[in-house]
Amino acid sequence: MSQSAARELDEQAVELLGELVAIDSVNPGLVAGARGEAPIVAHLRLRLERAGFSTLVVTPDGHPDRPSLLAWHTGSAPGPCLLLNGHVDTVGVAGMAEPFSPRIDGDRLFGRGAADMKGGVAGVVVAAEELARRGSGSVVLALVADEEDRSLGTETVLARLGATDLRPDLALVAEPSHLDLTVSLRGFAVVEVELAGRAVHTSQADEGVDAVAQLGRFLAAVAAAREPVRARGGELLVSVVRGGRAPFTVADRASATVERRTAPGEATGVALDEVEALLARMREEDPTVTATARLVVARESWQLQPAGPARTFATALAARLSTVPGRTGAPFEAPYWMEAPLFEESGIPALVCGPSGGGLHSVDEWVDLRQVRLFPEAIVTAVGSLAERLDAD
């Protein structure tokens, strides 16, 4: 690609990023009454249709106000089918003065969603448009709702994708990684624990069963179990507690939300097993303990495949990005979860790489514009390398 063409892609990505940050797309699953993804999906759909893409807006069953966008273009010449993914929802904006007014300060663009992950979305859209202009192979955009909460968007998009003739060779999830190559993601599980006691007047506390006291013992048990879990690369903690009904009444109910991060290679089922083992030990020590544990949600860990199209594309992308400012160059082992495993589980090899910055989910979120500018051209160049490899195979 010529330097002038690359610069044009750079500026298109920054311009689109500003447009996207200016659109409120706070996830209503996280913030009651939030605007949601419909306006940003409409904006991107119009742009992509003007660029010659076919589009389809899909919504989850029972959630007609939570749209995601599928857009695709098939070239006139053979080549790989690349799926480019990004989520268009953001977390809330509490404490932010002007969350939807993109502000540039040097190489940083500030605003809600700038790094997580409208910088990545702008990059993959601009790259997809350039790939469509070149006319080889196919490109699919999956721009999804609800990644920040329940992944309703990606699950719906993958279900609809399976009913089409599109068969992606791989999926690039453009989540923020400072453009370092992500080699693993930790999985997670959420377990709800309910403790039942017996309410009496607090002046006769010995006649009741104090669920809050049992909760305290459970919290201590989780804290004691935490270090062995962390030594294996996981995490175990309680993030939410609730207990009691009113003053002057011994609590007859208490609950805790337990989070378990799983290391690559660990099954998420270990979370419920570990919590139930802690509760069983409590019952052995105190027969009055009445408790149940329920798995609320679980997502498996993920690792980049050691060979195949995703690894080939990842290698080419990393080589093109080797001199990008702000990039460490080291393999990124993410301590959190992203949606790459959902693509992998559907039969599409996945990789994770995208521009980042700082302040994710905080009041001063920003993205590094140097990374945003270089990302689209790197994708286009890596597609060329992938096509050569597939032809050779």
Mean pLDDT of the residues in the chain? 95
Q: What is the pLDDT of residues 65-112, one digit of tens each?
A: 999 999 999 988 888 999 999 999 999 999 999 999 999 999 999 999
Q: Which of 299, 316, 333 corresponds to the end of one domain?
A: 299
Identify whether residues 144 and 292 lie together within a single domain: no
Domain count, the chain: 2
Asked whether the predicted pLDDT for residue 391 surpasses 70, the reply is: no
Does one domain contain both 203 and 176? no
Do 79 and 114 lie in one domain? The reply is: yes
Residue-level pLDDT at 393: 57
Query: Over 90: is that where the pLDDT of 136 sits?
Result: no
90 and 148 in a single domain? The answer is yes
25 and 42 in a single domain? The answer is yes
Predicted confidence at residue 9, as pLDDT, reads 81
Question: Which residue among 282, 299, 316 closes a domain?
Answer: 299
Last residue of a domain, one of 252, 280, 299: 299
Query: What pLDDT score was predicted for residue 20?
Result: 98
| 178 lies in the same domain as 259 | no
Structure confidence at residue 392 (pLDDT): 60
Same-domain status, 341 and 357: yes
pLDDT class of 351 with cuts at 50, 70, 90: very high
Same domain as 204, residue 278: yes
Please tell me the predicted confidence (pLDDT) of residue 359: 97
Range of the domain at 144: 3-185+301-392
CATH (domain of 341):
3.40.630.10
- Clarify whether residues 44 and 145 are in a common domain: yes
Q: Give residue-wise pLDDT tens across range 1-30.
A: 677 777 788 899 999 999 999 999 999 999
Q: Are residues 295 and 312 in the same domain?
A: no
Residue 286, domain CATH: 3.30.70.360
Lowest mean pLDDT among 244-258, 328-342, 378-392: 378-392
At 210-245, the pLDDT tens digits run: 999 999 999 999 999 999 999 999 999 999 999 999
pLDDT (average), residues 111-140: 96
Q: What is the pLDDT of residue 323?
A: 85
What would the pLDDT profile of 160-177 be if each residue is shown by its tens digit?
998 788 899 999 999 999
Residues 256-315 have pLDDT tens digits of 999 999 999 999 999 999 999 999 999 999 999 999 999 999 999 999 999 999 999 999
Q: Are residues 31 and 70 in the same domain?
A: yes
Shared domain check, 166 and 309: yes
Nearest residue to 196 via CA among 240, 250, 260: 250
